[in-house]
Structure 1
């Protein structure tokens, strides 16, 4: 393996850690808990978006985060984007694991805020516009 490949892998790991740290910092959570949330929200978002939007989003994610995004993916043929906000939250809760004291609206909003800071504004607008209005409430426009 070349030094460049190792350097790229290390940089990707640092980017992924930075993303998880940002979520942890915004919610005042520990890093493992923030990682579980990031993964759960990314999976729910992936399954809710039309496949074209899902692919466009994935292209802007850091390499290791993109791997997390696609982990366990099974194509739903676009049927997921017609669900309600409550279904999205249930999907996140199911994957995250039940913790009674969590405000999932706020927690999911923290991940969407992270995406706002790292994904192009045009892509964020496209993703938001492909969501149902109720789900967009979790991802308010800045």
Structure 2
């Protein structure tokens, strides 16, 4: 079976364009890419190996590449914070020095994380998003619940 790279690129762009919509009119494609990468890298540290692979299976191929870039699944998980502020701090750490371009305060980081979660919820099944929620620390479940990401209608 031949691979259709154009189709994979199109689906990846659909994901990114949806994220741009979720982030709002002041966002750029470059900032959406940075934010997506940082949030996915942080999220994967909070999920079990099984949940990481199940979520990955539902993402467009191009987004899978972003998700696994630089990942060493056998390495010790870093996501140890049980609080939303810790998760947000890890997102900033993952984005590195470029974070000053995207965020000027904690509210903007929080809004960006929620935008990524909403976008994930549009591409992954409701059941998968419920599974993701189930393995997150209690305080972090709020990120999914606030947007009803794990409770699609």
- Structure 1 moving runs of 4+ over 3 Å: 76-79
Superposition map of 1:1-142 within 5 A: 4-5=2-3, 8-27=4-23, 28=25, 29-75=27-73, 76-77=75-76, 80=79, 83-96=82-95, 97-98=99-100, 99-101=103-105, 103-140=108-145, 141=148, 142=151
Structure 1 Cα separation of the partners of residues 58 and 76 of structure 2: 21
Q: Secondary structure at the match of 2:144?
A: coil
Matched length: 138
C-alpha RMSD of matched pairs (Å): 1.9
Q: CA deviation at 1:74?
A: 2.2
Structure 2 Cα separation of the partners of residues 70 and 100 of structure 1: 28
Q: CA deviation at 1:129?
A: 0.7
Answer 1 or 2: which has greater helix percent: 1
Please tell me whether the aligned partners of residues 39 and 68 of structure 1 are also in contact (alpha carbons under 8 angstroms): yes
> What per-residue deviation string (whole Å, max 9, x for no partner) do you get for residues 50-70 of structure 1?
111111111111111101100
> What per-residue deviation string (whole Å, max 9, x for no partner) do you get for residues 78-129 of structure 1?
5635542212111111223233156111110011001111101111000001
Please tell me whether the aligned partners of residues 128 and 136 of structure 1 are also in contact (alpha carbons under 8 angstroms): yes
Query: Mean alpha-carbon deviation: is it higher for 116-125 or for 90-99?
Result: 90-99
Segments of 5+ residues of structure 2 without an aligned counterpart are: none
Structure 1 Cα separation of the partners of residues 67 and 18 of structure 2: 17
Segments of 5+ residues of structure 1 without an aligned counterpart are: none
Structure 1 Cα separation of the partners of residues 81 and 93 of structure 2: 19
